[in-house]
Chain A
Amino acid sequence: MARIEFNEVAHSYLKNPKGDADYALKRIHNAWEDGGAYALLGPSGCGKTTLLNIISGLVNPSKGKVLYDGREVAGLSPEKRNIAQVFQFPVLYDTMTVFDNLAFPLRNRGTAKAEVEKRVREVAEILDLTHFLNQRAAGLAADAKQKISLGRGLVRSNVAAILFDEPLTVIDPHLKWHLRRKLKEIHEQLKLTLIYVTHDQVEALTFADKVVVMYEGEIVQTGTPEDLFENPEHTFVGYFIGSPGMNFLPCKIDGNMARIDGAKIPLDEKTAVMARNVREKLELGIRPMYLEVTPFAVENGVPVQIVLIEDQGSHKIVSVKLAGQLVRAVVPEDKPVPEGKAWIVFPQQKIKLFADKRLLKSEGATL
């Protein structure tokens, strides 16, 4: 087990990278604490897999240092780093039985026979593979195959970390939930460092203690699921986390008001003061679930036009037009939604302001 640290790591797949755009990873500076369960969350192509492969040593970064417990590991093979990695699609040794597949990483390291037997049986027990053990791995269903891949990752007890690269892509939804819980259980039992790459926010938020959100080769925020939801530090986080994502409205500050085209939205004193000094492009962000939709004019309400109501069963998603901007609000199932004209209220404490896509923080500094 180890604490894994990235010191100004950047990576480009090109030989002579020129601008920022040539880098798959741009200046990553981050640490993964020993024993933590982390999720790396981001859209496809944001550099998650590259980052993972740099941790495991399959890819050597163009710049920067990777440290394991403070020791630099540049040039060390994955085997030397003692990393386990599970890939997106099941990787099996077709000609071997399930038992031999699971035993393979141990046997390659010359583990004693009795220990191999013991570890394989334990892991098979955890993953419900016990009654397949003597079968050929090739003939099994996709989820059993992926469980074997997972098993090969878990079978070594002393690994520095286990890395998962979207391991549940090929698994049926109900099994996904089950396997995710298994992983969580394993984490609680063994206290291994787990880093789990996914583009599925539900997966990331349920699996991890800490979620690392990546966007275009950068880490934009690291935090607990609650942090990410309540205090997104980057508009991308607000947009990516939560369904539907945060609303963003370009605005200008006018006294204690945020002006969105014609509409005026009152801000609290502190936010307004911060925002007045900002030169960059300002955006007002608000979670759809915090918006209130009322059929009549209220104090601080902004008149809007209802465009679309989507009934999701447990709640309704209401799309409204606010001075040319589309805004989405989540309304409880039992609350009636007016047709045509309505008013929405922006609760002041839930309003976030973003300057050039970064959250304005109360410390006064713009990030």
Chain B
Amino acid sequence: MNKWENNKAWFFLIPVLIFVCFSAIIPLMTVVNYSVQDILAPGKTVFVGTEWYRIMLRDPRLHEALWRQFLFSGLVLLIEMPLGVLIALAMPKKGWGVSFCLVTLALPLLIPWNTIGTIWMIFVRPDIGLFGAAINEWLGIAFDHTRKPLDAWITLMFMEVWHWTPLVALLAYAGLRAIPEVYYQAAKIDGASSWATFLYIQLPKMRGVLTIALLLRFMDSFLIYAEPFVLTGGGPGNATTFLSIYLVKLATGQFDVGPAGAFSLIYFLIILVLCFIFYQVLQNVGKGAKT
């Protein structure tokens, strides 16, 4: 009995293969193709092997952008994850307040990303923005996100936290609501404090949704483009030039598609590896035998 001979079932996979080819494999291969060539003029290309990779890996501007990116994503996660969980814990459990909170929380998530950048750009403008003008004129603090790197970062962090903490909160709230009442009853019987209840019941039960929240927030913040591009255009100087902004400058600003291709693949690998590590750590923390 040989199952391989007449098995034509794999033909059913063809539509998926075609779809994945167009959605992922062909674009990715195009990038791979660019990354190993020097394109001098249309039709005039030279194969350069790993040269672009070597150059990009040593590029100090890429290093700066990468550290900036890590700092940004790290801060985003440090603020948004605990804040989102706190909001979820504080939300009402029943009544009209639930729908009210859910809708209010979801509002920032419905706004297109470049619109978010525009809203905040106007909001913090020192001359006419509600926030910018208010703290400049009434509080006397000289705040200008277009000139001071720190101010640009503060604005960006506020914007990112305002935009995305609701996602973490909504996921955490869903996780909290899924905990059966009997766990809370058992905790009461066992005399657990609310902190112990949080630590030993709520947090472990939210592990799944928080993993998803963490991965989504990490990926999205690591890929951030539209908001800083609209808000500061990567400035002042290079203060908010994150990886994606630098990449776009290389690829479409200077048309260095070779280095940009190499950069893209390095960028892609970093995200892939980090997500894998996060996922593995979160799935395995607090599991298995403790010996």
Contacts and interface: CB of A to CB of B under 8 A. Distances in A.
Contact of A105 (B182, B191, B286): B191
Interface string B179-202: 010110110111111001000110
A138 B191 CA distance: 21
A265 interface: no
Nearest to A82: B191
Contacts of A95: 200, 204, 286
B287 A138 contact: yes
Given A95-B204, A136-B287, A85 B193 contact: no
Main secondary structure of the interface of A (DSSP, over half): mixed
B288 interface: yes
Interface residues of A, number: 29
Contacts, number: 66
B291 interface: yes
A84 B189 contact: yes
B196 A108 contact: yes
A239 interface: no
Contact of B289 (A56, A79, A109, A135): A135
A84 B185 CA distance: 11
Given A87-B182, A91-B183, A108 B190 contact: yes
Interface residues of B, number: 22
Contact of A96 (B182, B189, B200, B291): B200
Nearest to A81: B189
A97 B189 contact: no
Interface string B271-291: 000000000000000111111
Contacts of B289: 134-136, 139
A58 B188 contact: yes
A77 B187 CA distance: 12
Nearest to B199: A95
Interface in A205-235: none
Contacts of A78: 185, 188-189
B200 A152 contact: no
Interface in B67-125: none
A139 B183 contact: no
17 contacts: A58-B185, A58-B189, A83-B189, A87-B182, A89-B182, A91-B183, A93-B200, A94-B204, A95-B200, A95-B204, A108-B190, A108-B191, A135-B290, A136-B286, A136-B290, A139-B289, A152-B186
Interface of A: 53, 56, 58, 77-79, 83-85, 87-89, 91, 93-97, 104-105, 108-109, 134-136, 138-139, 149, 152
